[in-house]
Amino acid sequence: MNNSRWFSRFVCLVMMFCGFLTVAESASVESKDVGVLKKQLSSASSKQAAVIKELKSLDYDISKFAKEIHRLKKDITENKKKLEANKKEDRQLQKQQKNAENDISSYISSLYAQGQQPYLKILFNKQDPSKTGRALVYYRYLHEAKSQQIKFYKDSRAQLESIRKQVIAKNRAVNKLIGQRERKFAQLKATQIKRSDVLAHLKKTIKSKRHRIDYLKKNQKKLNAAAQAAKKKKARQSVKGNGTSFAKLKGKLNLPVKGKVIARYGKRRLTNQVKWRGLLIQAAQGTAVKSVSSGTVVFSDWLQGYGFVLIVDHGATYMSLYAYNQSLLKSLGDKIDKGDVIALVGNSGSMEKSALYFEIRHKGAPINPSKWLIARR
């Protein structure tokens, strides 16, 4: 009986010991799994940061090329205007020269008809001396006028030759600028192709829906931080809006760019956890972005997720924000008027399609920009 009890106790002890080993082993395995998971998350985060850094670098390259192309377009337009002005002046001088030629020709014919010595004929024609005097004065004035006309003819010929040389030089300058622009376009296109590959790589590092939501939330926080920093800086510098009070412009603003609104304020992004806090306006790359009102630039830089962002302070705690730009044409502290071109539409940040993201903020918080726009019919 005693042996039986002792055996039972021994079996229980063995089972308890085995159970303890199983739990300990399980805890050890779980601890290892957590460690591996942490390493994987850390590795993924590092890869994502490296890809974002590369994306930022490429966005800056694209911005540089876009700015140069924009400048070259302006230079070409200005040179073409000057070229047309030179051509117009050339035509006017040719017409004046032709008239001068005809007058001089008539004058020479008249002199020849009078025997080439009209002065002596007038002097010795035995007319009334007073009439002869008047005739001689008239003749002298006529001769002086014709001499000036001959001088103008000679000068206009030299001026015409100079203008024609300017026309040739301007033509060469325009062709050179067009060649430079084409090369910049090629560089821009090559960089954009490279950027597409990097963007695809970035998407791979954000595989799950939860990760995408976290990424969007993180980007929104960065945008908020930038807007708040701009607000504080503006308060310290006492920046004032220019012209009409922004509050009085409700329902009177134009869209900052011509295009199709593809996402509106309050519309969900992936889930209800992340929503659009402005308008997303689809437009072609390089399209001019115009300020909706006058003000001062309080932020002009690249931000993760939003690319090149420009924030304009309009005074009275109102600001407008423009993101995903290909290039920024205004810098921090610049004073701008309503309708000034401040940026070029693009897809910087993590955007795939070309579009402008537009916000209006009051006291640092986003408000519905649609209520501020002129109603479309």
Do 193 and 232 fall into the same domain?
Answer: no
Domain boundary residue among 171, 203, 235? 203
3-state helix, strand, coil in the chain (%, to 5): 60, 20, 20
Do 57 and 198 fall into the same domain?
Answer: yes
Domain boundary residue among 179, 203, 227? 203
Q: How many domains does the chain have?
A: 2
Q: Domain with 172 in it: what CATH number?
A: 1.10.287
Tell me the torsion sign for CA atoms 332, 337, 339, 341. Answer: negative
Q: Is-contact 343 321, C-beta < 8 A?
A: no
pLDDT at 235: 52
Do 109 and 191 fall into the same domain?
Answer: yes
On whether residue 211 sits in a domain, the answer given is: no
Q: Domain with 330 in it: what CATH number?
A: 2.70.70.10
How much is the pTM?
0.64
Do 365 and 222 fall into the same domain?
Answer: yes
The distance of Cα 308 from the centroid of its chain, to the nearest Å, equals 10
Do 110 and 243 fall into the same domain?
Answer: no
Domain span at residue 158 reads 53-203
Domain boundary residue among 203, 238, 263? 203
Do 223 and 190 fall into the same domain?
Answer: no
Could you say which residues of the chain have pLDDT below 50? 11, 14, 17-18, 20-34, 36-38, 41, 116-117, 120, 123, 236, 238-239, 243
pLDDT at 53: 82
pLDDT at 164: 75
Do 198 and 224 fall into the same domain?
Answer: no
On whether residue 208 sits in a domain, the answer given is: no
Residues sharing a CB contact under 8 Å with residue 234, sequence separation 6 or more, in sequence order: 296, 298, 313
In Å, what is the CA distance from 203 to each residue of 192, 252, 263, 347? 16, 39, 21, 15
Do 234 and 188 fall into the same domain?
Answer: no
Size (the chain), residues: 377
13 is written with which tokens? 């002890």
On whether residue 29 sits in a domain, the answer given is: no
Do 285 and 366 fall into the same domain?
Answer: yes
On whether residue 3 sits in a domain, the answer given is: no
pLDDT digits (tens, 9 = 90+) for 356-376: 999 999 998 999 999 999 976
In Å, what is the CA distance from 79 to each residue of 86, 89, 166, 198, 274? 10, 15, 11, 39, 49
The interaxial angle of helices 2-113 and 129-205, nearest 10 deg, is 170
On whether residue 76 sits in a domain, the answer given is: yes
In Å, what is the CA distance from 359 to each residue of 105, 123, 208, 245? 73, 91, 28, 18
Residues sharing a CB contact under 8 Å with residue 245, sequence separation 6 or more, in sequence order: 315, 316
On whether residue 189 sits in a domain, the answer given is: yes
pLDDT at 54: 83
On whether residue 210 sits in a domain, the answer given is: no
Which residue is it, tokens 């002009």? Answer: 300
Do 192 and 251 fall into the same domain?
Answer: no
Do 150 and 79 fall into the same domain?
Answer: yes
The distance of Cα 48 from the centroid of its chain, to the nearest Å, equals 28
On whether residue 351 sits in a domain, the answer given is: yes
Do 359 and 253 fall into the same domain?
Answer: yes
pLDDT at 341: 96
